[in-house]
A = this chain, B = another copy of it.
Amino acid sequence: MLYFRNDYGAGAHPAVLEALCRTNGELTAGYGADRHCLAAAETIRELCRSPEAEVHFLVGGTQVNKTAIGAFLRPWEAAAAASAGHICVHEAGAIEQGGHKILPIPSRDGKLTPAMLRSNLGGPVTEHEVVPRLVYISNTSELGTVYTAAELSALREACDEQGLLLYCDGARLGSAMDAGGTDFADYARTCDAFTIGGTKNGLLFGEALVIVNPALRPGFRNCMKQQGAMLAKGRLLGVQFEAVLRDGLYLELAAHANRLARRLAAGLAARGVPLLVPAESNQVFPILPDAAVDALRESAAFEAERKLDGGRTCVRFVTAWHTADADVDALLELL
């Protein structure tokens, strides 16, 4: 069975697993106060060229979004996000459970623009409404689209104009950096806080949260504990991030996945298969006849994104660090 279901179907990259095994016998302090977490945090600050940034390590993506947004906002404040945003749709109401409304902004490609912020959030707010305060973007977006450095800068500027915080969910940040030509420092420069996703790029689990804006730091560790988001053997997170960040492996893995997605997209184009949005990173959204989708299920694992009219379905193929060229070629053969 060919595997294009998602980028978290396998375990860890061998280098990550090796690091976990090598350090397994160490006896350290818990909850992230160990030398591995300290070192990984320092590496991240260096990569971000942001020596004052605060770095926290959490286990999962919904967890870090919920904990961060809940800690950053006051009760009367709301987050805004593209209507396809992960927090809008696929986190089972986690942000609302924490007390905050999400203002969805219509977006065809899953990305936000300064113009969208101005038209959707720019008006006067009465005391009968929530106050927009934080803009959530995901890079890569849920549709695989990618922000460039210039686009991030423009969003930063729009946020500054409107007194908004900019938060980037980087569950696929490696893929976004490879595809969009950005580096860690671009996020530290433009975002108040952002995450570096490990789960979908070679770790067993783990998201690093980088808090650049000093005003957002107080109480964060208490919030983590309160949300059940402080891992007892916290060093497991530090060890894994060390393994991928120190020598550039993080970007290598993402580049590999992106390259295979481009190979897949090229093959689909050659076969005349239309895409929902252009394939920019490691998620590809071809539109196929329903019959073809059904047939394909026998040989390949993937998800249906949405049913379209005319007997067609948009499906999602995801490539990952462990996807092989041969897998892509075999998938194209099947189509």
| A interface, CB within 8 angstroms of B | 3, 5-6, 8-12, 14, 17, 20-21, 23-31, 59-67, 70-71, 74-78, 89-94, 96-102, 104, 127-131, 199-200, 204-205, 218-219, 221-233, 236, 301, 322
Q: Which residues of B contact A96 (CB under 8 A)?
A: 96, 99-101, 130
Specify the chain B residue showing the minimal Cβ separation from A89.
B129
The interface residues of chain B lying within 8 Å CB-to-CB of A200 are 232
- Report the minimal beta-carbon distance from A202 to chain B, rounded to whole angstroms: 11
Given A28-B9, A30-B6, A97-B99, answer yes or no on A205-B92 (Cβ-Cβ < 8 Å): no
CA distance A227 to B20 in the complex (A): 27
| Bound Cα distance A31, B6 (Å) | 12
Give chain B residues whose Cβ lies under 8 Å from the Cβ of A219. 74-77, 131
Tell me whether A61 and B17 are in contact in the complex, defined as CB-CB below 8 angstroms, given that A97-B226, A219-B75 are known contacts. no
Q: How far is the CA of A303 from the CA of B224 in the complex (A)?
A: 22
User: How long is the Cα–Cα vector from A155 to B281 in the complex, in angstroms?
Assistant: 44
28 contacts between A and B (CB under 8 A): A3-B27, A9-B27, A10-B24, A10-B27, A11-B23, A11-B236, A12-B24, A20-B20, A27-B322, A60-B228, A63-B229, A74-B218, A75-B226, A91-B225, A91-B226, A93-B101, A93-B226, A94-B226, A94-B228, A96-B96, A127-B222, A127-B224, A128-B225, A200-B232, A204-B233, A204-B236, A205-B232, A228-B229
- What B residues does A65 contact at CB under 8 A? 228
Assembled-state Cα–Cα distance A224/B62 (Å)? 10
Give the CA-CA distance A28 to B230 in the complex, in Å.
26
Chain B residues with CB under 8 Å of A63's CB are: 227-229
Count this chain's copies in the assembly. Answer: 4
Residues of chain B within 8 A (CB-CB) of A92 are 76, 127-130, 222-223, 225-226
Of B26, B104, B227, the contact of A228 (CB 8 Å cutoff): B227
> Are A93 and B67 in contact, with the CB atoms below 8 A?
no
Chain B proximity of A292: nearest CB distance (Å): 22
- Which of chain B's residues have a CB closer than 8 A to the CB of A90? 128-129
CA distance A25 to B67 in the complex (A): 31
The smallest beta-carbon distance between A81 and chain B, in angstroms, is 13
Question: How far, in whole Å, are A254 and B25 apart by their CA atoms in the complex?
Answer: 18
A48 to chain B: closest CB distance in Å? 24
Q: Which residue of B lies closest to A2 (CB)?
A: B27
User: Which of chain B's residues have a CB closer than 8 A to the CB of A236?
Assistant: 11, 204-205
Q: Flag if B17 contacts A21 (CB, 8 Å).
A: yes
4 closest Cβ contacts across the A-B interface? A63-B228, A11-B24, A76-B222, A92-B225
CA distance A231 to B231 in the complex (A): 13
15 more contacts with CB within 8 A, not counting A3-B27, A11-B24, are A9-B29, A20-B204, A27-B322, A65-B228, A75-B97, A75-B219, A75-B223, A78-B93, A92-B128, A92-B130, A94-B225, A96-B99, A96-B130, A101-B102, A131-B219
